[in-house]
């Protein structure tokens, strides 16, 4: 058995959630922060780190982005690929699917106009992960990070993500050197889609060198 968020656990979780297409997760719309924050971006190349069943990857590809989707769950990626093919050849051809472990996988340096990492459970250091993903953003490009916080900062009560390690505002900001990054958003927001919980939301732009 794994530790709850390792590859085998995710395979089991995705197999269960995507088995017959009726589970709410399978029908989940693309992330609202992405929709808001990417609306003003000209489509280019994007990395979706921890892409899951691909709602955000598909949304980006449908808007003309070339997307690299990375996840270590073959089941999630298989589902996402099939959904992309249903969306149409043009969008599907704009996506590269990579089955890899984000504990070690690194993007090519300064490769993507947009890097997103939404709700990834982090096995190692959050700051190291953020630095590694951020290194993949081109000068002028955008980094969008969202993590579900384990504790509500207002009430101090545990959230549904209690005990989990995900990206936090403090750790993300600490990882982004001010000489290279302009932080546009760094805040905790109530999870409106879920109706409970708190999200850390960070949007940053890599300064042109
Ligand atoms: C909570 S889901 C989020 C999926 C999607 N980003 C979203 O916002 O709905 C976390 C995803 O990260 C993947 N994941 C977790 N740890 C990973 C790792 N070390 N390497 C690659 N993928 C990982 C899981 O398989 C899962 O698809």
Q: Which of 15, 71, 77, 79 to mutate to test the pocket of ligand 1 (most atoms within 8 A of CB)?
A: 71
Q: What distance in Å separates the CA atoms of residue 204 and residue 209, rounded to the nearest whole number? A: 15
CA R_g for the chain: 16
Residue ranges of domains in the chain: 30-206
Range 40-50 average pLDDT = 97
User: CA angle, corner 104, sides to 98 and 182, nearest 5?
Assistant: 90
- Residue 116: phi and psi, rounded to 5, are -120, 145
Pick the closest to residue 141 from 116, 119, 121 (CA basis).
116
What are the C-alpha distances in Å from 18 to residues 29, 51, 63?
15, 14, 25
Pocket probe for ligand 1: among 116, 120, 132, 191, the residue whose CB has the most ligand atoms within 8 Å is: 120
CA of 120 to the centre of ligand 1 (A): 5
Instruction: Please say whether the structural domain 30-206 has been given the CATH code 3.40.50.150.
Output: yes
Alpha helices in 32-155 (DSSP H): 32-38, 55-62, 74-87, 89-93, 126-134
CA–centroid distance, 121 to ligand 1, in Å, is 7
Residue 150's closest CA among 101, 197, 90? 197
Say yes or no to pLDDT of 153 above 90. Answer: no
Task: Please report the atom of ligand 1 found closest to the CA of residue 13.
Answer: 25
* 85 contacts: CB under 8 Å, gap ≥ 6: 92
Tell me the per-residue pLDDT of 93-108, one tens digit each, with 9 for 90 and over. 999 999 999 999 999 9
Question: Does ligand 1 come within 6 angstroms of the Cβ of 119?
Answer: yes
CA 15, 130, 107, 43 dihedral sign is positive
Ligand 1 and 127: CB distance under 6 A: no
Residues 9-46 as b/e (b if ≥16 CB within 10 A, e otherwise) read: ebbebbeebbeeeeeeebeeebbebbeebbeebebebb
Give the position, in ligand 1's atom list, of the atom nearest the Cα of 116.
6
**What is the pTM for the complete model shown?**
0.96
Of 43, 133, 41, the residue nearest 90 (C-alpha): 43
Average pLDDT over residues 36-65: 97
101 Cα: distance to centroid of ligand 1 (angstroms): 10
Q: Is pLDDT at 149 greater than 70 in this prediction?
A: yes
Question: Model confidence over 181-198: pLDDT tens digits?
Answer: 999 999 999 988 788 899
- Ligand 1 contact, 43 CB (< 6 A): no
């Amino acid at each position: 058995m794994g530790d709850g968020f390792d590859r085998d656990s995710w395979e089991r979780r995705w197999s269960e959630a995507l088995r017959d297409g009726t589970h709410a997760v399978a029908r989940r719309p693309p992330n609202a922060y992405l929709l808001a924050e990417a609306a003003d971006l000209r489509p280019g190349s994007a990395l979706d780190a921890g892409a899951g069943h691909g709602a955000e990857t598909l949304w980006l590809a449908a808007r003309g982005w070339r997307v690299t989707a990375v996840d270590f769950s073959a089941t999630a990626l298989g589902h996402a690929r099939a959904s992309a093919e249903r969306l149409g050849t043009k969008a599907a051809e704009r996506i590269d699917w990579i089955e890899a472990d984000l504990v070690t996988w690194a993007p090519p340096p300064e490769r993507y106009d947009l890097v997103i990492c939404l709700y990834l459970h982090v096995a190692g250091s959050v700051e190291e992960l953020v630095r590694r993903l951020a290194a993949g953003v081109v000068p002028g490009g955008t980094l969008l990070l969202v993590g579900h916080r384990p504790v509500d900062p207002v009430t101090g009560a545990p959230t549904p993500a209690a005990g989990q390690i995900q990206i936090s505002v403090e750790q993300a900001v600490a990882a982004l050197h001010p000489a290279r990054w302009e932080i546009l958003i760094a805040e905790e927001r109530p999870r409106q889609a879920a109706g409970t919980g708190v999200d850390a939301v960070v949007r940053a732009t890599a300064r042109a060198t």
